[in-house]
Amino acid sequence: MLISGKEYVERLSDYEREIYVRGEKIEDFVNHPNIKPVVNSIAMTYDLAKKKEEYSPHSDLVDEKVNRLNYVNKTPQDLIARYDFQRELSMRLATCNYRCTGSDAINSLYPATKELDERLGTDYHKRFLSLLKDIQKNDYACTAALTDTKGDRAKRPKEARDMYVHVVEKKEDGIVVSGAKIHQSGAFAADVNFILPTQTFREGEEEFAIAFAVTPEDEGVKFILQNTGYQAMFREGGEFEMGNPLYGDRITCTVIFDKVFVPWERVFVFEDLKAIRNTLTNFAISHRCVGASCKAGFIDSMIGAANLMLKANGLEKVPALRQRIGEMVGVSEAAYAIAVGSAVKGRESYNTWLPNALMANAGKVVGVEGFNKVIMHLAEIAGGIPVTAPSEFDLRSPEVGKYVEKYLQANPEFSTEERMRIIKFIEFWITSSHFLGAVHGGGSPSAAIIFLQMLADLETKEDAVKDVIGLKKE
Amino acid sequence: MLISGKEYVERLSDYEREIYVRGEKIEDFVNHPNIKPVVNSIAMTYDLAKKKEEYSPHSDLVDEKVNRLNYVNKTPQDLIARYDFQRELSMRLATCNYRCTGSDAINSLYPATKELDERLGTDYHKRFLSLLKDIQKNDYACTAALTDTKGDRAKRPKEARDMYVHVVEKKEDGIVVSGAKIHQSGAFAADVNFILPTQTFREGEEEFAIAFAVTPEDEGVKFILQNTGYQAMFREGGEFEMGNPLYGDRITCTVIFDKVFVPWERVFVFEDLKAIRNTLTNFAISHRCVGASCKAGFIDSMIGAANLMLKANGLEKVPALRQRIGEMVGVSEAAYAIAVGSAVKGRESYNTWLPNALMANAGKVVGVEGFNKVIMHLAEIAGGIPVTAPSEFDLRSPEVGKYVEKYLQANPEFSTEERMRIIKFIEFWITSSHFLGAVHGGGSPSAAIIFLQMLADLETKEDAVKDVIGLKKE
Amino acid sequence: MLISGKEYVERLSDYEREIYVRGEKIEDFVNHPNIKPVVNSIAMTYDLAKKKEEYSPHSDLVDEKVNRLNYVNKTPQDLIARYDFQRELSMRLATCNYRCTGSDAINSLYPATKELDERLGTDYHKRFLSLLKDIQKNDYACTAALTDTKGDRAKRPKEARDMYVHVVEKKEDGIVVSGAKIHQSGAFAADVNFILPTQTFREGEEEFAIAFAVTPEDEGVKFILQNTGYQAMFREGGEFEMGNPLYGDRITCTVIFDKVFVPWERVFVFEDLKAIRNTLTNFAISHRCVGASCKAGFIDSMIGAANLMLKANGLEKVPALRQRIGEMVGVSEAAYAIAVGSAVKGRESYNTWLPNALMANAGKVVGVEGFNKVIMHLAEIAGGIPVTAPSEFDLRSPEVGKYVEKYLQANPEFSTEERMRIIKFIEFWITSSHFLGAVHGGGSPSAAIIFLQMLADLETKEDAVKDVIGLKKE
Amino acid sequence: MLISGKEYVERLSDYEREIYVRGEKIEDFVNHPNIKPVVNSIAMTYDLAKKKEEYSPHSDLVDEKVNRLNYVNKTPQDLIARYDFQRELSMRLATCNYRCTGSDAINSLYPATKELDERLGTDYHKRFLSLLKDIQKNDYACTAALTDTKGDRAKRPKEARDMYVHVVEKKEDGIVVSGAKIHQSGAFAADVNFILPTQTFREGEEEFAIAFAVTPEDEGVKFILQNTGYQAMFREGGEFEMGNPLYGDRITCTVIFDKVFVPWERVFVFEDLKAIRNTLTNFAISHRCVGASCKAGFIDSMIGAANLMLKANGLEKVPALRQRIGEMVGVSEAAYAIAVGSAVKGRESYNTWLPNALMANAGKVVGVEGFNKVIMHLAEIAGGIPVTAPSEFDLRSPEVGKYVEKYLQANPEFSTEERMRIIKFIEFWITSSHFLGAVHGGGSPSAAIIFLQMLADLETKEDAVKDVIGLKKE
């Protein structure tokens, strides 16, 4: 089924959830100024899916069209469609769409549970398919939560058990879990949350090797929202002061699990080191590729903004500035092309098409370094006026509005308000949480580099050199 | 005279000023949550001056000790002391001290007015000295305003007169000026504002070639504050939620001049192209050197924060992370060393010691590129938790405080609150306006690169090459 | 037909060519120490094609298997195979394979001549197919020559006619051309040279808008070889002193056309601005993609060398150095993935599959910046010993051989000679002409950036921003 | 005494030295094509010293003027003069002057031996002064050798004794040493070689903690020259083909010590861990600062070459290319300014003025990264023609000279030969050993970064942060 963004919002309004902002439980969360932008963003994932064939493939599992984000990708073309969707969402939202982790979890658990069952004769995959059917039929929005708060990094999980989501009680009909997950983008506005471990584990640590799903309504699930300047600005209101007025900054939360009961039907890996390793490896490469296409879309948005700024300033013909635009385009296309390349050079795993692991990690590195470079270019093009401009309230002020109206205008083809909207939007890109999100989303660049070194086929490269310089090969 | 920070604040409290925040004129500006941090920062420039000899030199002009920021530097050592002061202020405030432009204006106008008088037999330098005496005797805080809003960049000043601060009436006892200056850091909290043009002018544009001083109380002077997320957070209050609770983000404003009368005693350049060129050249190189030492201080603060974060996470012994610290230190020391080098290799101009112009511009470039690199390192060290962490209000919440207390702790030598204070401070460095300020403060890096190319002694370098490769020299 | 490398060399030995090294015409060019490595490299393009299906596709044109380098690519998979071949060649040769420009010319002229004929009713495409059949049937090695020497860059072609390859006489059976092409890699060792203009032209400059083919034996065609230190070393001989003893540095030449007669059958564009524009655009994007996969292969070789060096030094377990390896791998995979992505997101043009233009240019930029970064990493890993090591002649010296044998050994699993071979090979990568080749091959990075800015769909990006911030779209 | 370059060469001609090139002992080394450029370079250190006061200070030790390179620096001004000398030499030579390590050794051993004697009551300082007097009086050229070949890096010195220069016999009148030093620039053309350890040592490794001096004539001292393409080109001859015809590439050698007797008078540290640590620390920071000013001079040369190339191509007014020049100037001035800054912020140690350690390391990092960036800019400005150009022998060839003459000309204000000289000189900068020399000279950038992290006053920075965010200080 494909529902509309509006239907998603209506469904969301029926839920009761425990969500905290600045220490207080909020009511009518769907309309809270800090959550509304998240809801708007997710709604776009519904509406856009209806507009393009490739964003709503036919699922054999439920024999109907489903959102690409809830689909198990079977071919390179599927993955490319996935990345196209991601890039377009990122460009159109200029922020997170909040469902990429859900999609990655579905595409990670599908093959991992299948392998687990084939290995052990269990029925985890069936359980998973059962939930997946529900998700596809109801067009649920899903997220995945991985990052445990970890506490003192010097300790292993067993020594710091509470800092990892873990089982506190094992019952006949399910398990009871406690712990916390941090950095969770939009989990509070989804229908289903997949819960995966933050890392792989060693022998003896099986108890942490679990994967399951909850709903945000489950008893004991609590969401504590992050709080940044952009949230404060949304609370203060205004039409465009916050830069990205419709979709806002990426909003994350800490999810608390205080003795949450999870029925066995929603447990997909239970104390199995290998299945968790598979799940996490699948997830990491999926997420890094999606991240590369996401960064491409973000940079597209920054390019659009930069070009509008040049026009609004009367500078769109200055060669040195056009060159900056060209460099920004190069980064965007590079990040996206790497995602496409990784789709094509991927591999099948238990009926799921997974991206190329090396390229996925390369995409992560290029995406982050590119994002950083692009921010510099955007800053150089924009001048200092993002962050120093008067507010929209000044523009509307009976006392100083006339000054702002007069002095903030540049190219007469843009009204002062239009130019200020562009300025505030650029401020948003430069000072919001997206830079840090780009660095750490899907793991740090350092982590990607370690993977690159581990996964590379160094022997073939060494052998080629040995041939050239006349060294014996083993 | 050297007054204390407290005395500065008391004096400030007596002033009546027209200051707007979000479109509304504010009362008791000194205690407004968006201005208090600025006042705190400037107060530090008073208190710190009293603590070190080199920050409070003896001025022959008034025959007493004065703040280094109000001093006319005579020697390389003076300039080095100036940069030391700047670096220490930046490190201790973790934000702008708001007086660097005032100091640069004093050191620019001093030689420029002297040259002007020697050339034309006028008395501008005397007028300037008279104000400078007042400034030194009363220990006034000064700023300088340069950036006109310019409007459509395709037009020359004459076509877009209103967009440049300009004389609307010439009277016997002074001039009346109108226009606006944007990007003005802390001008509303100073005692004296120097007003200089945003650029040099061609023949026929003499009318814009003026420099003068106003006080923030002058009739027709209006300050419209910038508005960013950090200001919104300060308005919402809290103890540490805003990261840098005492000194805040750099706060700028747009200064409106609505028919402001300036007596001749405060006019220092009047329609003279050369004197303005001298003033602006002096100002640019002074400001870029100060900017390099400022960036060194900012990076010192980020290094301190990064190291505390490593400790609070239990990661201070990880070699790859220590290496990041080393790279950050390298940037800080490089930026500062360039400032010192430019002081030593500077030149005298009419009893004022000015920094080396080439090095000043090199310092600008290294400072910006370094700042960008350091932000990346800080982001990598910090992880995603700045921007995703719960708020201090969550920590104090009766409902979720216990979860935050438990799950946000890491190394037991730091309380959860201490760790959160560090986290919020790092968030401040990554998402505040300082990155954009670093890029554009003192002019864009591109502007510095153009200067480097123009000022370089290319002929000597070409001649050396000709000698090596056997080409005839002219 | 697919001939072997050996057969190619034999055929080459039968040709008479006018080739100059250090001002002197050489005899037995195939065995000249500066040309032998080129011949060895091209021979590999024959031998490797026989080893993999995807390197020797079936050509309908001649109804037999042909070398991928002489094939007109019809599908994305064709292009990917092309890039795989390129990457593998670059890795195995650690230098140029000299045939990429020929392949790009074939894939550029095929659609361009077809369009030309459809537009004008001419028979250029037929002529081209006729030569292509010969090429495929005989398995000829082809190159393409574009870069005119241009002379004073301030002048347009008409003012500097001689500096552009141009027609000096038009005859019934063909044209007579004069001029020179510089930067020609391996043209002297090919069977066919395609000659294309260095740039597009404006109306009135039609006379330069020509494309044709010559053979290196044609009267009036003269090859003047470049001369660098590596050529000098090859002339001096030795077993491994020159780093890449089998395949050497990339050897280019200046090709002189002194009244060369070209029969009409080998003229493919004659005074047509549009067909030349198409040809050059096709060529540029083809060559930049191939260049990206070539750089991937080069970096693979450098990674292999770096890892061998770490082992030979006993340092292969140092985390900081392994990290460098990871970063190098990231660059290689990124460059290659972009090529693959551009194949997939390419487009058909007159039965030819061309890569995505934006991604092709992005690949160029990433390839160059990556190459530069990788060279730094390789330099850091290698230490100073490449360039400072004794020579192989010292190792074999009765007088000092024992010292070299003793003091140059490190990890006992590598003999001193093996370690020295690795060292000299790394020296080759760092000091050969490949860095400059990477910068300028396929056009400078600046040219690519200009294309990126020109080709980008900025309007869609601007529109997305307008939707987000509430600006009206046109 | 100040001798002339000519006198230095004459003195050199009288020496008998054991020098090997390509495995063979050479005669008349002074005029060997691979050594002549080194001799020319060192001669410049004599001639230039006579031209400027600051390059030939008065030495109290011998009560006469001495070369700055043999002087013990007492003040910041001394060090600045030292860096000015270095920068000018590097610019004028476009290669190594070969005496910087000698100067650094003198300035390292002076305070270290003084400390040693004060601590232990020994007379090492007196011995050192005795040699220094000779050096100053005779105006000897000195070098220092540090890098042992080390062998398998996994082993400590005791396990791999032979790979470190060590004492094989202790006699009444001196010691006998064996071992080898690699990476020794120009040691064979000096009068005195200081021999220092490659690293500091732990307790139990005292036997390696020695420092002494030899002369290149001492029995058992053998020099094996490096061999690169540039040496091969010099052996082949020509007027300008080798790019830097007078001074050539930096020529290093491996120095073999085969039971070399060193009298006690020339032993300055004998089995003392602390004195060696002091010596090496002094040396490292001295050398890194000198290296920064050296890189500035190299970049000056590249800037001169780049600007000549722009002129010779008729491109000197293209803004994008002028911008590259500006960026190159920025790097040069930054590196130099850091050296100056480190001189000013240095410290006295036993009557010797040493540079600031932090800044010295920052200078190393900025110098290397800058050099790498500058090479890219130079490559972009030059185009592909360095490495692809015909040779000077082609230009002079009766057969093809006329073509080269015609087609290689551009701006008519430069003859073809002049343009080719510029081209070959740029080729030299891009493909010679200087890039690798810049990376590793004075230790790798990684080593500098580790020092930066170790030496930084992190506590003060942390304390400043604690004050800002309200954490208790210890």
pLDDT at A449 over 90: yes
Q: Radius of gyration over alpha carbons of chain D, in Å?
A: 23
pLDDT at A474 over 90: no
Output the pLDDT for position C442.
87
Distance CA A190, CA A252 (A): 12
Q: What is the band of B430 on the pLDDT scale with cuts at 50, 70, 90?
A: very high
Output the pLDDT for position D154.
83
Output the pLDDT for position B153.
87
List the chains bordering chain C where 3 or more Cβ pairs fall under 8 Å.
Answer: A, B, D
Q: What is the band of A176 on the pLDDT scale with cuts at 50, 70, 90?
A: very high
List the chains bordering chain A where 3 or more Cβ pairs fall under 8 Å.
Answer: B, C, D
Contact status of C432 with chain A (Cβ, < 8 Å): no
* Helix, strand, or coil (residue A95): coil
pLDDT at A403 over 90: yes
Strands C267-270 and C210-214: antiparallel
Structural contact between residues A86 and A100, judged by C-beta atoms closer than 8 angstroms:
yes
A376-394: average pLDDT: 96
CB contact under 8 A, B446 and A22: no
**Closest to D34 in 3D by CA, of D320, D259, D321, D231:** D231
Secondary structure element (H or E) that encloses residue C220, with its range: none
CB contact under 8 A, C319 and B323: no
Read off the tokens for A119: 């290995």
Contact status of C415 with chain D (Cβ, < 8 Å): no
**Closest to A362 in 3D by CA, of A291, A300, A433:** A291
Distance CA D105, CA D41 (A): 20
pLDDT at C474 over 80: no
Distance CA C462, CA C465 (A): 5
Q: Radius of gyration over alpha carbons of chain C, in Å?
A: 23
Structural contact between residues B424 and B240, judged by C-beta atoms closer than 8 angstroms:
yes
**What tens digit of pLDDT does each residue of C244-268 get?**
999 999 999 999 999 999 999 999 9
Distance CA A415, CA B274 (A): 36
Q: Which DSSP category does C472 fall into?
A: P
pLDDT at B33 over 80: yes
What does D105-160 look like in DSSP terms, one character per residue? HHHHHHHHHHHHHHHH---HHHHHHHHHHHHHHHT--EEEE--B---STTS-TTTT
Which contacts (CB < 8 Å, 24+ apart) does range A447-451 have? A448/A288, A448/A361, A448/A362, A448/A364, A448/A365, A448/C330, A449/A361, A449/A365, A449/C323, A449/C326, A449/C327, A449/C330, A450/C323, A450/C326, A451/A284, A451/A357, A451/A361, A451/C326
Output the pLDDT for position C334.
98
pLDDT at C421 over 80: yes
Contact status of B320 with chain C (Cβ, < 8 Å): yes
Chain A residues touching B254 at Cβ < 8 A: 388-390, 403-404, 407
Structural contact between residues A222 and A255, judged by C-beta atoms closer than 8 angstroms:
yes
Interface ipTM: 0.97
D415-436: average pLDDT: 97
pLDDT at C360 over 80: yes
Which residues is D267 bridged to in the sheet?
A: D212
**What tens digit of pLDDT does each residue of A196-228 get?**
999 999 999 999 999 999 999 999 999 999 999
Distance CA C378, CA C300 (A): 12
Distance CA C68, CA C449 (A): 30
Structure-token match 């400005």, residue found? D381
Output the pLDDT for position C313.
95
Structural contact between residues B186 and B96, judged by C-beta atoms closer than 8 angstroms:
yes
**What tens digit of pLDDT does each residue of B115-125 get?**
999 999 999 99
Contact status of B298 with chain D (Cβ, < 8 Å): no
List b or e across D238-256, with b for residues whose CB sees 16 or more CB atoms inside 10 angstroms: bebbbbbbbbbbbbbbbbb
CB contact under 8 A, D247 and B468: yes
pLDDT at A442 over 90: no
Strand order in the sheet with B24-25: B24-25, B19-21, B221-225, B252-263, B174-185, B166-170
**What tens digit of pLDDT does each residue of C180-208 get?**
999 999 999 999 999 999 999 999 999 99
Contact status of C317 with chain B (Cβ, < 8 Å): no
Distance CA C283, CA C142 (A): 14
Output the pLDDT for position A273.
97
CB contact under 8 A, D152 and C314: yes
Structural contact between residues B438 and B288, judged by C-beta atoms closer than 8 angstroms:
no
CB contact under 8 A, A384 and B183: yes
Structural contact between residues B20 and B222, judged by C-beta atoms closer than 8 angstroms:
yes
What does C126-193 look like in DSSP terms, one character per residue? HHHHHHHHHHHHHT--EEEE--B---STTS-GGGGGGGS-EEEEE-SSEEEEEEEEEEEETGGGSSEE
pLDDT at B474 over 80: no
Q: What is the pTM of this model?
A: 0.97
The nearest alpha carbon in chain C to D414 belongs to C152
A95-112: average pLDDT: 98
Q: Which residues contact C338 (CB under 8 A, 6 or more apart)?
A: A333, A334, A337, A338, A341, C289, C292, C359, C362, C363, C366
Mutation to test the B interface, candidates A101, A227, A404, most B Cβ within 10 Å: A227
Chain C residues touching A96 at Cβ < 8 A: none
Q: Radius of gyration over alpha carbons of chain A, in Å?
A: 23
C204-229: average pLDDT: 97
Portion of chain A with pLDDT greater than 90, in percent: 97
Output the pLDDT for position D127.
98
Chain C residues touching D433 at Cβ < 8 A: 387-388, 431
Structural contact between residues A48 and A88, judged by C-beta atoms closer than 8 angstroms:
yes
**What tens digit of pLDDT does each residue of B377-388 get?**
999 999 999 999
**What tens digit of pLDDT does each residue of A142-167 get?**
999 999 999 998 888 999 899 999 99
HSE (CB half, 13 Å, CA atoms) of C76?
16
Read off the tokens for A414: 């843009």
Structural contact between residues B330 and D448, judged by C-beta atoms closer than 8 angstroms:
yes
**Closest to A250 in 3D by CA, of A441, A97, A148, A425:** A97
A20-49: average pLDDT: 98
Cα dihedral sign, A300-A306-A312-A314: negative
pLDDT at D246 over 90: yes
* Helix, strand, or coil (residue D199): coil
Q: How many Cβ pairs closer than 8 A exist between chain A and D?
A: 6
Output the pLDDT for position C218.
98
CA distance to partner chain C, nearest, from residue B324 (Å): 12
Selected residues 46-105 of chain B with any CB under 8 Å from a CB in chain D: 80, 91-94
List b or e across C193-232, with b for residues whose CB sees 16 or more CB atoms inside 10 angstroms: bbbbbbbbbeeebebbbbbbbbebebeebbbbbbbbbbbb
For chain A, the distance separating the N- and C-terminal CA atoms, rounded to the nearest angstrom, is: 57
What does A211-246 look like in DSSP terms, one character per residue? EEEE-TTSTTEEEEE---HHHHHHHH--SSTTSSTT
Read off the tokens for B459: 């002929």
**What tens digit of pLDDT does each residue of D177-227 get?**
999 999 999 999 999 999 999 999 999 999 999 999 999 999 999 999 999
CA distance to partner chain B, nearest, from residue C319 (Å): 9
pLDDT at D172 over 90: yes
Q: What are phi and psi of A192, to 5 degrees?
A: -135, 140
The nearest alpha carbon in chain B to A228 belongs to B387
**Closest to A353 in 3D by CA, of A31, A42, A72, A20:** A72
Contact status of D450 with chain C (Cβ, < 8 Å): no
CB contact under 8 A, B323 and C320: yes
Output the pLDDT for position A15.
96
**Closest to D257 in 3D by CA, of D324, D177, D184:** D177
Read off the tokens for B149: 């809003």
Instruction: Give the number of other Cβ atoms within 10 Å of residue A410's Cβ.
Output: 25
- Could you tell me where the beta strands, DSSP code E, fall in C252-356? 252-263, 267-270, 347-349, 352-354
**What tens digit of pLDDT does each residue of C426-438 get?**
999 999 999 999 9
Distance CA A91, CA C468 (A): 9
**What tens digit of pLDDT does each residue of D44-59 get?**
999 999 999 999 999 9
D338-352: average pLDDT: 98
pLDDT at C70 over 80: yes
Structural contact between residues D41 and D93, judged by C-beta atoms closer than 8 angstroms:
yes
Q: Which DSSP category does C354 fall into?
A: E
Distance CA A140, CA A3 (A): 9
Instruction: Give the number of other Cβ atoms within 10 Å of residue D54's Cβ.
Output: 14
Smallest Cβ–Cβ distance between C340 and the set A245, A344, A363 belongs to A344
**Closest to C337 in 3D by CA, of C4, C87, C36:** C87
Q: Which residues contact A474 (CB under 8 A, 6 or more apart)?
A: none
Output the pLDDT for position A153.
87
CB contact under 8 A, A440 and B379: yes
Selected residues 139-168 of chain B with any CB under 8 Å from a CB in chain A: 147, 149-155, 162-163
Return mean pLDDT, chain C.
97
**What tens digit of pLDDT does each residue of D10-32 get?**
999 999 999 999 999 999 999 99
For chain D, the distance separating the N- and C-terminal CA atoms, rounded to the nearest angstrom, is: 57
C431-450: average pLDDT: 92
Q: Is C449 exposed, middle or buried (0-12, 13-18, 19+ CB in 10 A)?
A: buried
Chain B residues touching A27 at Cβ < 8 A: none
CA distance to partner chain B, nearest, from residue D26 (Å): 27
Q: Is D33 exposed, middle or buried (0-12, 13-18, 19+ CB in 10 A)?
A: middle
Instruction: Give the number of other Cβ atoms within 10 Å of residue D469's Cβ.
Output: 26
Output the pLDDT for position C18.
98
Structural contact between residues A450 and C326, judged by C-beta atoms closer than 8 angstroms:
yes
Output the pLDDT for position A1.
85
**C200-to-C209, C275, D384 alpha-carbon distances in Å:** 7, 10, 20
